[in-house]
C-alpha cells in the first residue's frame, strides 16, 4: 500500500501544479477513486491524508476532501520552462576522479591497501569507545579543536614518533590535511595574496589556495628538494604571504629536503618574514636511514604551521588530520572550523585514541611498513626488468615511485588503460600543466603479484612508444 498511496498522492499533486484542480474544488470520494484506481479505499484515504498534512487539501467531515482554499492556482507549464541562472562568482576544481573499478592493476597515488587493514581490531576500539563514553557526550557536540582524550594521545604519539612538542592551544583536529590547509589559508590569505609553492605538487592543495583568492608562485625543486636560490628569487621579487612545502617525501617527486637546505629555507623565511605551511602527509612510511625531523621541530621563530593526516595509515574515509600552529593562528583556525565543519566525528577520535593508548596503532604501523617495504622492493625489481631500463630512483620513504619513463606519460597511461592498468601521468602534478615523461606509481595499494603483472604490461606498452 505504501508505494500505491504515494503514487496516487503524486498524481493529485501534479493535477494541482498543472492547474487542472483549483482552490476549493471537491475531489472524488475515497470509494470512487478507489474503484477508479483498483485499490483499497484505505489506500486513497492514506494519500488524501498525506496531502492534507502537506497543506494541499482540506478535510471536511461529512463532505469529503477539497483543494485548500488558500491554494494559488498554477499556470499550465510551458513546453520548456525558463530556469533560474546560477551565476557563480568563481570556478571550483572538478570533483576528484576515482580510478575505474574495472582496472585490474591500479597504482593509485598514496592510497593504502585497505585489504590489510585490521578491521576487527579497529572495530573493537570503536565498541570500547561506545561503552567508555556517555552517549550524550560521545554523540553530541564537542570541542571543535578536538576531543580531549584524542588530543592527549595524539600529543604523546607525536612527541615520541616525531619529536614534536606543543601546547594544547596550538593543536586543531581537522578532516585530513586538505581541510587543515584550507582553514590556514582562509585565515591567513586575502584575495591577491601570493603563495610560494613547489613547482610540482598536489593540485587540490593549489585549488584550496586559489579558492582563497591567492596567486601561486612556483619554486624550483631538484633531487634535494626545494632549491633555496629559486626560493630567494621568489621572495625578493614578490611580496609572498605564505610558503607551502612538503619537505619529507616531496609530493610528487618523493625526494626529501636535505638538512642543509632545511636550514636555508628557515633562514630565508625569517629574513623575508614569510610563514611556512609544512605538509607532512606520510611521515610514518620511511624505509632507509633515519626519518628527517619535521621542519616545525627546528622552528625557533614561530613561523611554521604543521599539518598531517591519518588517512594514509587508517583509511581515506577516516578524514582525521590535524594542524599544529602558533596559538594565535591555531585559535583562529579553530573558530573558522566551527563555521566550515563544526567538528570532527567524536567516535572516530575516541576509537583512535584508545587504539593509540593500547599500543595497537603503532603495531599496525609496523605491519604496514613491512608490507610496503616489500612492495617497494618488488616495484624496483619489476622496473629493472624493463627494456630499455629506465632510470630508477628508489624512494627512501613514502608510498610511490616517481618514474621517468622516457616517453609522454599521458600517452602511455592512455595506451596501457586498455590492458586494465591505471596509472597517474606526471602532467597532473605540474603547476604549469606542461606534458611530462614521469609517472607517479603507487606501490602501497597493489599486491606484489599485481605489481609484477601490472608493470610487465606497462613496460611493454612503454616499449611501443620509444
- Evaluated on CA atoms 284, 285, 290, 296, the torsion sign reads negative
Q: How many domains does one find in the chain? A: 3
Report the Cα 240 to chain-centroid distance in Å.
27
SS3 labels along 303-314: CEEEEEECCCCC
Residues 281 and 428 reside in one and the same domain: no
Do residues 125 and 232 share a domain?
yes
* Residue 340 domain flag: yes
- Domain interval for residue 158: 118-361
- 88 belongs to a structural domain: no
pTM confidence score: 0.85
Last residue of a domain, one of 328, 361, 394: 361
φ, ψ for residue 423 (rounded to 5)?
Answer: -135, 165
Is residue 253 domain-shared with residue 333, that is, in the same domain?
Answer: yes
Question: Does residue 157 sit in the same domain as residue 296?
Answer: yes
Element (H, E) at 213: none
CATH of the domain at 187: 3.40.640.10
Contact (CB, 8 A) for 309 and 179? no
Kindly give the interhelix angle for 360-384 and 346-358, rounded to the nearest 10 degrees. Answer: 90
* pLDDT at position 80: 61
| Whether residues 399 and 341 fall in one domain | no
Run of H or E residues at 354: helix 346-358
Residue 237, C-beta contacts closer than 8 angstroms, at least 6 positions apart: none
Domain of 42, CATH number, reads 1.10.10.10
* Relative orientation angle of helices 360-384 and 448-465, to the nearest 10 degrees: 30
Q: Phi/psi of residue 429, each to 5°?
A: -105, 0
Paired sense of beta strands 105-106 and 438-442, if any: unpaired
Q: Is residue 99 part of a domain?
A: no
Claim to verify: residue 347 and residue 308 sit in the same structural domain = yes
Run means of pLDDT, 10 residues per run, the chain, 466 residues? 77 82 87 88 90 88 85 54 77 64 86 93 96 95 96 97 95 97 97 98 96 97 97 98 97 96 98 98 90 94 97 90 98 97 96 97 96 97 95 94 97 96 95 96 97 97 96
Measured distance CA(347)–CA(365) in Å, rounded: 21
- How far does Cα 454 stand from its chain's mean position? 26
Q: How far apart are CA 437 and CA 418, in angstroms?
A: 20
User: Which pLDDT value is given to residue 96?
Assistant: 63
Does residue 196 contact residue 421 with C-beta atoms inside 8 Å? no
Instruction: Give yes or no: residues 158 and 282 share one domain.
Output: yes
**pLDDT score of 37:** 85
- Within-domain flag for 78: no
Same domain membership, residue 400 and residue 349: no
Amino acid at each position: 500500500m505504501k508505494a500505491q498511496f504515494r503514487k496516487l498522492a503524486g498524481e493529485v499533486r501534479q493535477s494541482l501544479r498543472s492547474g487542472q484542480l483549483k482552490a476549493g474544488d471537491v475531489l472524488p470520494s475515497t470509494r470512487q477513486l478507489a474503484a477508479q484506481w483498483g485499490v483499497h479505499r484505505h489506500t486513497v484515504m492514506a494519500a488524501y491524508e498525506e496531502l492534507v498534512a502537506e497543506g494541499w487539501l482540506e478535510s471536511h467531515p461529512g463532505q469529503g476532501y477539497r483543494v485548500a482554499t488558500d491554494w494559488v492556482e498554477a499556470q499550465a507549464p510551458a513546453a520548456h520552462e525558463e530556469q533560474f541562472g546560477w551565476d557563480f562568482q568563481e570556478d571550483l576544481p572538478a570533483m576528484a576522479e576515482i580510478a575505474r573499478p574495472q582496472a585490474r592493476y591500479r597504482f593509485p597515488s598514496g592510497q593504502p591497501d585497505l585489504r590489510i587493514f585490521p578491521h576487527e581490531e579497529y572495530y573493537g576500539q570503536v565498541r570500547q569507545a561506545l561503552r567508555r563514553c556517555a552517549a550524550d557526550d560521545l554523540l553530541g557536540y564537542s570541542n571543535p579543536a578536538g576531543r580531549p582524550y584524542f588530543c592527549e594521545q595524539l600529543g604523546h604519539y607525536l612527541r615520541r614518533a616525531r619529536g614534536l612538542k606543543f601546547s594544547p592551544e596550538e593543536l586543531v583536529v581537522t578532516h585530513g590535511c586538505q581541510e587543515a590547509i584550507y582553514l590556514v589559508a582562509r585565515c591567513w590569505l586575502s584575495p591577491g595574496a601570493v603563495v610560494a609553492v613547489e613547482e610540482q605538487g598536489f593540485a587540490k592543495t593549489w585549488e584550496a589556495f586559489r579558492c582563497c583568492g591567492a596567486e601561486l608562485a612556483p619554486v624550483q625543486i631538484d633531487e634535494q628538494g626545494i632549491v633555496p636560490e629559486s626560493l630567494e628569487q621568489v621572495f625578493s621579487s614578490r611580496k609572498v604571504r605564505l610558503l607551502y612545502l612538503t619537505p619529507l617525501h616531496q609530493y610528487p617527486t618523493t625526494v626529501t629536503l636535505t638538512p642543509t637546505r632545511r636550514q636555508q629555507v628557515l633562514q630565508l623565511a625569517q629574513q623575508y618574514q614569510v610563514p611556512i605551511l609544512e605538509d607532512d602527509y606520510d611521515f610514518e612510511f620511511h624505509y632507509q636511514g633515519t626519518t628527517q625531523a619535521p621542519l616545525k621541530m627546528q622552528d625557533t621563530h614561530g613561523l611554521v604551521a604543521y599539518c598531517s593526516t591519518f588517512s594514509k595509515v587508517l583509511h581515506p574515509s577516516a578524514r582525521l588530520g590535524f594542524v599544529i600552529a602558533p596559538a594565535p593562528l591555531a585559535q583562529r583556525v579553530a573558530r573558522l572550523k566551527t563555521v566550515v565543519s563544526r567538528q570532527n566525528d567524536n567516535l572516530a577520535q575516541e576509537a583512535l585514541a584508545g587504539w593509540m593508548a593500547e599500543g595497537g596503532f603503532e603495531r599496525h604501523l609496523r605491519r604496514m611498513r613491512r608490507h610496503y617495504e616489500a612492495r617497494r622492493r618488488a616495484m624496483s625489481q619489476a622496473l629493472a626488468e624493463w627494456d630499455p631500463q629506465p632510470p630508477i630512483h628508489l624512494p627512501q620513504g613514502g608510498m610511490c615511485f616517481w618514474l621517468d619513463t622516457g616517453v609522454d606519460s599521458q600517452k602511455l597511461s592512455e595506451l596501457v588503460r586498455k590492458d586494465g592498468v591505471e596509472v597517474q601521468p606526471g602532467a597532473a602534478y605540474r603547476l604549469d600543466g606542461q606534458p611530462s615523461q614521469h609517472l607517479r606509481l603507487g606501490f602501497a595499494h597493489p599486491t606484489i603479484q599485481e605489481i609484477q603483472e601490472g608493470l610487465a604490461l606497462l613496460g611493454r606498452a612503454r616499449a611501443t612508444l620509444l
